Structure 1
Amino acid sequence: MDSRVQDAASGARVVPQMNAVVLDRFGGIDELSSRRIPRPEVGDDDVLIRVEYAGVASWDAVEREGYYDGVFGIASAFPYVLGWDAAGTVAAVGRNVTRFEVGERVYAATMPASRGGFYAEYGLVEAEFVARVPDRMPTEQAGAMAWDALTALSGLDLLGLRPDETLMVFGASGGVGHMAVQLARHSGIRVLAVASGDDGVTLARRLGTDDAIDGRKVDVLAAALEFAPGGLDAALVTAGGETAERSLRAVKDSGRIAWPNGVVPDPVTSPAAKVIHYDGDRIATDRLNAIIEASSFEVHIARTFPMARVADAHRALNDHYVGKLALKVG
């Protein structure tokens, strides 16, 4: 599909423009700037999303500083648009796309290095990675959900726990963590949430965890062994460090530990239980949506920033908050 239009006066082909937050080089927060850039052209298998909300995450700052440059085997091209998660409405579809109609509410996970990200009025995604927003979910929540929820779901899939088996979610008040708590409880798994701050503990308890502790104040290893005296069946780690490493001693030697790629630092000493490093499955949205529709699943949005205040959103990544940050784009 050719998204260019013809200028009536000159007959020249004009590429439609859009507002976006861009980087002209990698670096600090001051490198973020807003301006108009060409709107992406829709390929045969693509969905063009008119973005309403985009997620703002810790990896956005890492990417902004250039640490992902070349990591995915793709040369970085400028202007560079950040933003891995978004929700909005379908603006256009490619000729091979039959699952979506213009105007439908959708959300998606993308990889900015290859297609450009969602800090823009429009985002282009292959149709296989696009999903309808569940009827009961606000678009704002859906916009900050995709990668975190799919990472949580993929981790639980790898752990393969049965109902009433025990799981420690370390980092349970963060983006991946607070979604993992809900997905695990939906499957009948007994969850010990290790959160950050009184507000993090309150959030985890409200979301239905069996027990919640503040990892900064409590001896996590002792609390985990009290929760599961015979040892935990599994752990999902969304924040690394000395406390996380020590707490993993509570997992049975025969247990399993799911560790998403990008969670740092890695353990200095390998725990006795098997550690599985993994990425989120971008095409598991049908199963995720089924759980959302059948449960009280929610995405906790700590703060939402207008696109004009994207710099403040990136500064907020360094503050204490629970859940997710979001950017209001459209």
Structure 2
Amino acid sequence: MVDGDVPERMQAAAFDEFGGPEVITPRILPVPEIADDEVLLKVWSAGVGVWDALEREGALVPEGAAFPIVPGAEGAGTVAAVGGQVTDVAVGDLVYVYGRRRPKGGFYAEYAATKAQYVAKLPSGVPVEHAGAMPANALTALSGLDVLGLPAGEWVLIFGASGGQGHLAVQLAKRQGLSVIAVASRAEGVALVTRLGADLSVDGHGDVVEVLARIRDVAPDGVGGILAMAGGETLDRLTEALRDGGVLAYPNGVQPVPRERPGVTVRAYNGETGPERLRRLNELIEAGPFEVNVAEKFPLGRAAEAHRRLQTSYPGRLLLTVT
């Protein structure tokens, strides 16, 4: 089924060569056609992440993609058309997508084609205007919590808690019944994670000895797991808060890679998606209001500027507003 208003061509941000932010330019391109197992999304908003920069640089290009390449791994909007095999969503549904395989282009466009298995209806509790910046980080945070596998009531330390993945991990961990120590960035980050429900919020730029002392005050027996969204000397020191047998999990791509130490298991992970993972994420989100903190919004025509902003520090996420 197809929405009768779907045009033949669309506005997009794309590049014809790999390089810096300047290679992304506004374009007019054909609206992608969909197969029987695909959905055409009328994009409202798209998240801007480091994975998009890697795609732009040629390091993380979806298999089958060809120039001009439309980047963008995640987005939200309304279903404009569905293939003949698609039954879980219908034209007009408000949905979100994290599409790791997207040979027909990403979400920096008015329309995007994606496999139906990556599409989920937007749950209540997520602000529609911010939904495009949620899927990749929320699914990756959920994967990290699964790797830790901590029982309800256990202490988890989230390092980089005010970042794009971290602030969503704080909320998902609380909904799993975990006690959360959030190590954030500066006063602004500490305020964000405190508002989101962290049991202890500390500034990772402070004295690490004082930070460890505050952690031991609330978790004298140590924490059961650390979810690390960044690496470095401070993280390596904070592993002292892990009790023997604890697990440190980090998403692939974190640099420097967290150090191993005796008595601690270090595991890397990727964000996983699919119907079952999307169902679980929606159940957790619908447990209450879910905040996607957007640091800055950019119109589609300023995608290159958004990529330059990626190279700076900010709490939460960056967002392209498309429709």
TM class by shorter chain equals over 0.9
Q: Look up the equivalent residue of 2:121 and give its one-letter code.
A: R
Shift of 1:242: 1.8
Report whether the alignment pairs 1:185 with 2:178. no
- Measured at CA, do residues 285 and 271 of structure 1 come closer, stay the same or move farther in structure 2, by a change above 3 Å? farther
Identity %: 48
Match of 1:95 among 84, 98, 111: 84
Match of 2:255 among 264, 272, 295: 264
Alpha-carbon distance in 2 for matches of 1:244, 1:33: 38
Q: Secondary structure at the match of 1:184?
A: helix
Alignment of 1:38-57 (within 5 A): 38-57=30-49
Shift of 1:308: 1.4
Alpha-carbon distance in 1 for matches of 2:159, 2:38: 36
State the match for 2:310 in structure 1.
317
Alpha-carbon distance in 2 for matches of 1:46, 1:101: 12
Match of 2:139 among 150, 171, 187: 150
| Conserved 8 A contact 1:2-1:41 | no
Alpha-carbon distance in 2 for matches of 1:322, 1:264: 19
Alpha-carbon distance in 2 for matches of 1:307, 1:270: 45
Greater CA deviation, 174-183 or 137-146? 137-146
State the match for 2:148 in structure 1.
159
State the match for 2:124 in structure 1.
135
State the match for 2:299 in structure 1.
306
Q: Secondary structure at the match of 1:182?
A: helix
| Conserved 8 A contact 1:151-1:280 | yes
> How many aligned positions are there?
316
- Measured at CA, do residues 40 and 271 of structure 1 come closer, stay the same or move farther in structure 2, by a change above 3 Å? farther
Q: Secondary structure at the match of 1:257?
A: strand
State the match for 2:51 in structure 1.
59
- Measured at CA, do residues 136 and 221 of structure 1 come closer, stay the same or move farther in structure 2, by a change above 3 Å? closer
Alpha-carbon distance in 2 for matches of 1:84, 1:163: 32
Gaps of at least 5 residues in structure 2 are: none
Greater CA deviation, 270-279 or 256-265? 270-279
Q: Look up the equivalent residue of 2:60 and give its one-letter code.
A: Y
Over the aligned positions, Cα root-mean-square deviation in angstroms equals: 2.0
State the match for 2:320 in structure 1.
327
Shift of 1:296: 2.1
Report whether the alignment pairs 1:169 with 2:161. no
Alignment of 1:118-133 (within 5 A): 118-133=107-122
Alpha-carbon distance in 2 for matches of 1:248, 1:116: 40
Shift of 1:311: 2.0
| Conserved 8 A contact 1:256-1:274 | yes
Alignment of 1:270-285 (within 5 A): 270=261, 272-283=263-274, 284-285=277-278
| Conserved 8 A contact 2:125-2:288 | no
Q: Secondary structure at the match of 2:162?
A: coil
Q: Secondary structure at the match of 2:14?
A: strand
State the match for 1:6 in structure 2.
none
After TM superposition, the score normalised by the length of structure 1 is 0.90
| Conserved 8 A contact 1:168-1:194 | yes
State the match for 2:9 in structure 1.
17
Q: Secondary structure at the match of 2:286?
A: helix
Higher relative contact order (CA 8 A, sep 6+): 2
Match of 1:253 among 244, 258, 282: 244
Gaps of at least 5 residues in structure 1 are: 4-14
Alignment of 1:79-94 (within 5 A): 79-94=68-83
> For 1:166-220, what per-residue CA distance to the aligned partner results, in whole angstroms no more than 9, with x for missing partners?
1000000011100000011112211100001111000000000001111012314
Shift of 1:112: 5.9
Alpha-carbon distance in 2 for matches of 1:138, 1:247: 34
Q: Secondary structure at the match of 2:103?
A: helix
- Measured at CA, do residues 113 and 66 of structure 1 come closer, stay the same or move farther in structure 2, by a change above 3 Å? farther
Shift of 1:225: 3.0
State the match for 1:28 in structure 2.
20
Q: Secondary structure at the match of 1:175?
A: coil
Shift of 1:268: 4.6
Alpha-carbon distance in 2 for matches of 1:245, 1:271: 13
State the match for 2:280 in structure 1.
287
Alpha-carbon distance in 1 for matches of 2:97, 2:2: 22
| Conserved 8 A contact 1:83-1:112 | no
Q: Look up the equivalent residue of 2:292 and give its one-letter code.
A: V
